[in-house]
Structure 1
Amino acid sequence: MKFGLLSTAALCGLFLATSTLTPAAAQGVKIGILNDQSGVYADYGGKWSLEAARMAVEDFGGEVLGGKVELVTADHQNKPDLAAAIARRWYDVENVDMITELTTSSVALAVQELSAQAKKIDIVVGAATSRITGDACTPYGFHWSFDTRALGVGTGGALTETGGDTWFFLTADYAFGYSLEKDTGDIVKSKGGKVLGAVRHPLNSSDFSSFLLQAQASKAKVIGLANAGLDTTNAVKQAAEFGIVAGGQKLAGLLLTLAEVHGLGLNAAQGLVLTESFYWDRDDKSREFAERFFKRTQRMPNMIQAGTYSATLSYLKAVKAAGTKDSDAVVKKLKELPVDDAFAQGGKVQANGRLVKDLYLFEVKKPADSKKPWDYYKQLAVVPAASAFPLAKDSGCPLTK
């Protein structure tokens, strides 16, 4: 009798095991969009990034490997432990193949580490720390859109070269802020400038008065805002109340996007200098994509949303080219195929997972210079990919040693 029970159990186990071995060709893929949908970065990426990913799936055709492309999404609330728990459930229970967007650097680093353990691909778009393809790189991790070093080269380098040679930083007190302050400070010093000091504020601050008073008292020519989302917009609004710009100091939005400029309005944002990897009105490809996005959302995309479109589309192209969703095979294709879409033309993915492409230095227009809705930027310069991003071998990524 015991033998019979064991045989039945073994047969059931064999059936369950074989039933899970459905050929990948009949499975399609499942992609997770994990980001902040209710907090300080909800406009920066949020539900708008999910809409951009939907556009990528539709533009690709909705199917790959003989099955449908599915999207799942969740709000990580800027909590690394919550994000890791969601990612673990997605990988272990819901059979998610790739996770992207990943706003917030502490979240991105946590999910990237977990993804490497699970041998699953993650493509970071919304988080900024250069560690993602530096010392924290993994065989399955990618970084799209921008990073703290590229932003430092663009905004920090340009302002220092044009006379803004003393800096004081207002820094978000977590991994992203530290990285942005360090990378920009290094660029400023390499150009002959000086960093006079820094003050750190909690994420999602509502009162910047004490921090701004310290920045004002420093007499630095440039106050670098090493923060993002609502933290940046609140700091800019309160800086105006203190008369900081009127007093001769310049504000540098080190991670400022079209979404925050729109939230501020041109009266408050005019004159800000910033670096983005995408602007909707730059060329015909960006305008065509942006106009389709606008019809769905009633807003123009920023570099996070356009980058999520590109990351999703690039992943699907790599799966198709590999003929499988096996992560190792897809990683190989992601690093081989050029990235050529509305977000990036002629982009290349390095051995450390870093997408390299040109970025752009912009100044926010005065209200009188804006000729139509969402006409917010004047381009000052192109930041070449070769200047913005180090070679993989120089990035600190141990995979490239």
Structure 2
Amino acid sequence: MSKNYDIKDLNLAEQGRKRMDWAEKEMPVLRLIRERFEAERPLEGIRVSACLHVTSETGNLMRTLAIGGAEVVLVASNPLSTQDDVAAALVAYEEIPVFAIKGESNDVYYQHIKAGLDHNPQITMDDGADLVHGVLKERPDLIAGMYGSTEETTTGVIRLRAMAKDGVLTFPVIAVNDSDTKHLFDNRYGTGQSTLDGIIRATNILLAGKTFVVGGYGYCSRGIAERARGLGANVIVTEIDPVKALEATMDGYRVMTMEQAAAYADFIVTATGNKHVIDQRAYATMKDGCVICNSGHFNVEIDIPALEAMSLEKRQPRTFIDQYWLKDGRKINLLGEGRLINLASAEGHPSAVMDMSFANQALASEFLVRNHGKLSNGVHSLPKDLDVEIAALKLKAMGIDIDVLTAEQVEYLNSWQEGT
């Protein structure tokens, strides 16, 4: 095998294959799509560059794309999220070039992004829009050959809509995150469980009885709040949107500003997609020993430079914890360098929810191929019928039956003549 990859250690491949096989048992929808892809080869000869978290679930998506005929290259979408054994397994057993190393520097991270672009992709698959950003900023020569892109996460969709608004997004992008079978489940149940898993692994601190602040009340944040309350924490939500703030209040949470909440907090978690959600104003009111972390895609949600400027020194009492000693004697504990804590110190979302998310990714790539030249430039949602198909397959795999409308009921719903 020629060395067209950059990973930590090829000798980790066997453990990575076991990890992917274990995850695959919880991914029945993607398995059914893979079986169809193997028979139909809808991606035959299509060059795909994927910038995703390199996990066991992602490994199974890469297998699916490759079996469908795609020529795939995978790069990391976060310096701390790579599972090195999975990267090795994809290279050794699937012959998929991977450029990802857990703990890679920012320079190496962008070298790996460049490697994904050097594949001359016809489809890019993003988790945060870094490949699309690279195409537009550094490799505009690729645009003429692009079928389009798919985007996995809320943060990436925010970036893409900004690109479209500025008129620079010159090819179609499927906002996979907008699919109901993605954001209603992955964002809420996946982020909720995996974020708490990451915090507990990093700190081993009991959450019951603690005050737990959640920045934002979108689908990711409400999942985190729900799981924290389930573990016995007293949850406070911060928001900028009056409707979401009202919803959080009606769901039984205290709602206040971040500056107010920080004074009570034992833990603060952000998941908003915005920058400096925790800033100098919040640091000024935090209790000694407060634990802060982020579950949004980029590490800008926590203003780390401001924290460093307020500190005399930094220590590391445990792996994944940077403890900042402030000039006034307080200590603030930052988890996972401010990066996604569910992937920095844990394993990311459970396979069962990624099954639906990556089913969306696989079908979105097929949709781009089938509709090449028909879609306008900009951000598109995956068609509703594909969303429904994924949900139906998931229910079938879980052994759950649901009702079907009778002909009489269909007629009633489509008619206005029948009165009360």
TM-score bin (small chain): 0.3 to 0.5
TM superposition score normalised by structure 2: 0.37
TM-score with structure 1 setting the length: 0.39
